[in-house]
Amino acid sequence: MKKVKARACSNIALVKYWGKRDTKLNLPAVASISITLDSLFTETSVFFDQKQTSDRLFLNGEKSTEKDRIRLSKFIDLIRKRAGVNDFAMVESINNFPTSAGLASSASSFACLALAASRAAGLNMDNDELSLFARIGSGSAARSVYGGFVEMKLGKREDGSDAVAHPLFSRDHWDLTVLIAITSEEKKKTGSTDGMELSRKTSPYYKPWVESSADDIQDMRQAIKEKDFQKVAEIAEFSCLKMHALALASNPGLIYWNGTTVDLIHKVREMRDMGIPVFFTIDAGPQLKAICPSDYAAKVESILLEQPGVKRVMKTPLGGDATILEEQDI
């Protein structure tokens, strides 16, 4: 048995995932495209211990809630089954950024856990299998297995074996910087899993959302390939606003933004009108992510910092693949 420590970076989607076609297997209803964020990451260490009588989880140095521990155990059960291991796991996980505030902590967490737990259980999964396991934990986690520009495939098979992410381009393809304007550090009220299900069941925009997604994916793939900033900006903002329109039109409506988020949307567009190449995207939370070529990052950062309601700005280049940091025999 081994104690294994791994690191995985968070990611943000440029073409969004919202909605599941199978809740048990956690299969997405739409494909998605993301970029991996170098400076926002999770580090997780795992070992299986025959003396323990249940799985144990520490998050950011504190014993986790029972809800989080149950979610962990369900995931670890899959790894145990695949590896033929019966022991309970000791899991310590640290995020270097706010948890559950729309910064995709579940993405880096489950990608990291899939890598560390599988290796600690004696498995040597390839990236396809890691992505598949990560996806069962959280849809966006499938993408955090890879660095750079990543596409999460919709997949056709009922068992979900082809619903995995694959890398489109490495981070060296295009020198972009992501600036995250933190407008609130509170935990969000409705997580993405519950939010998506509410939208699927109640939003009249759900069907057109699912039907229009394939075009966005194809256009985004091409725009990234050609490094066509204008086009990437246009598709990313379209996909983001479409996702939030879908969420807003759920019943009861899901409002992930606060006033500052809305002000920042206008500010980013104002910057673009002034000739600064920058666009925004927003996940299921109030933080706005501004994306620009790295040459413009200092300028965009200083403008964002001037805006009332912005608590701080995090700045990150694109990140790499999930990796093992330490492995020790115990």
Which residues of this chain interact with ligand PMV, rule CB under 6 A? 13, 16-18, 32, 104, 106-107, 138-140, 192-193, 283-284
Which of 90, 109, 125, 122 minimizes the C-alpha distance to 10?
109
Residue 32 or 287 having the CB closest to ligand PMV: 32
Residue 120 or 265 having the CB closest to ligand PMV: 265
Residue 199 or 271 having the CB closest to ligand PMV: 199
Residue 37 or 179 having the CB closest to ligand PMV: 37
Residue 45 or 144 having the CB closest to ligand PMV: 144
In angstroms, give the least distance from the CB of 192 to ligand PMV.
Answer: 4
In angstroms, give the least distance from the CB of 222 to ligand PMV.
Answer: 19
b/e burial code for range 312-326 (CB count within 10 A of at least 16 → b): ebbbbbbbbbbeeee
In angstroms, give the least distance from the CB of 171 to ligand PMV.
Answer: 18
Q: Provide DSSP, 11-74.
A: EEEEE----EEETTTTEESS-EEEEEEEEEEEEEEEEEETT-SS-EEEETTEEPPHHHHHHHHH
In angstroms, give the least distance from the CB of 210 to ligand PMV.
Answer: 14
SS3 for 214?
Answer: helix
In angstroms, give the least distance from the CB of 281 to ligand PMV.
Answer: 9
Q: Before 28, cis peptide (omega within 30)?
A: no
DSSP 100: T
